[in-house]
Amino acid sequence: MPVTALALLWAACTQADAEHRSLRVRRARLRVEVSDTPRERQVGLQRREALDGGMLLVFPTPQTVSLWNRNTPLALDVVFIDKDGVIRGTAALEPDSSETIESSGPMLYALEVPRGWLDASGARVGDRVHNLPPAAAR
């Protein structure tokens, strides 16, 4: 089996096994895939052609979060969320970009959503995100 087919099969199995959660910001609801292990956070949305909902990266402790969009053909918005569940910043990630973006301070979560979701939801800095999971175990 070619390497590309194996990678796609692995990604499909990983997506199917992932924990999902429904978050709420203002009146908007968003179903997210929870990525709370080092491997899940490292792989993120690489090689995905579509995103149904969002991906929530959960860290073990609040920390400065650095992200890029390498090998990800999706235009994304990132929402940086602190330990209290409050949105502290947002940024745009361009498709297949190696440009790194960084949170302005320690965050416990980074939420990746399709470009445009932030505007459509009305979510903005200072809003609280509800139904977040606890900090990652590792």
Position 17 scores a pLDDT of: 64
Whether 110 maps to a domain, the answer reads: yes
Tens-digit pLDDT profile for residues 16-51: 567 999 999 999 999 999 999 999 999 988 999 888
Where does the pLDDT of residue 52 fall: very low under 50, low under 70, confident under 90, or very high at 90 and above?
A: confident
Where does the pLDDT of residue 89 fall: very low under 50, low under 70, confident under 90, or very high at 90 and above?
A: very high
Q: Which domain holds residue 60?
A: 3-130
Mean pLDDT of 78-106: 97
Q: What is the DSSP string of 35-46?
A: E-SHHHHHHTTT
Please state the length of the chain: 138
Number of separate domains in the chain: 1
Whether 137 maps to a domain, the answer reads: no
Position 23 scores a pLDDT of: 97
